[in-house]
Amino acid sequence: MIHAHTITLTPSEIHLAVSVGTLRYVENLRTRRYQGHGLDGDPLQIHILGACGEAAFAKARGVYWNGDIGDLKAPDVGGWQVRTTRRLDGRLIIRTIDEDDAPFVLVRGQCPTFAIVGWILARLAKCPEWLETNGRPAAYFVPASALQPFALYSEHEPPPSLFEEDPRP
């Protein structure tokens, strides 16, 4: 059974996340960086959803979220990469180019309520049975059942399970 932490953003937190998502969208227009990875959908809405997921994750951890714009390689929240989906059954998407030692967390939902589902190191997510193309560039679609449960830790205390063995079945 998957236990997710539910986080509800306040109107002020939503406002901040919507602003960050909009700024990211405008920055992509300015630099002519277009929708990557073959993703369909409204790019503005996708940026806003991603920023809301980051804000929810930061709130769950009790850490400051700066909503960084422009540095695509920088972690989203603390040392974590955050991937957000509206799909209630959504899987964590890890790209082949993602840094192997980076921890990735799956967030599901839409404003104002999000669920922090679980996490995995990118290198552990890159296994052949999760590799899919679906007419898009290849990526690993990690099922929620393969993710480590997420405990709420302080900014300076890494999750102890970060050093546990491979969680794959």
pLDDT digits (tens, 9 = 90+) for 27-45: 988 888 766 655 667 889 9
Higher pLDDT, 155 or 64: 64
- Which H or E run contains 6? strand 5-8
pLDDT digits (tens, 9 = 90+) for 106-130: 999 999 999 999 999 999 999 999 9
Note the helical H segments in 31-100.
43-61
Q: 18: pLDDT confidence band, cut at 50, 70 and 90? A: very high
Look at residue 79 and tell me whether its pLDDT is greater than 80. Answer: yes
Q: Indicate the domain borders of the chain.
A: 5-163
Six-digit token pair at 99?
């840094």
**pLDDT the model gives residue 70:** 76
Banded pLDDT at 167 (limits 50, 70, 90)? very low
Provide the strand spans (E) within the chain.
5-8, 81-85, 92-95, 103-110, 113-121, 131-132, 139-142
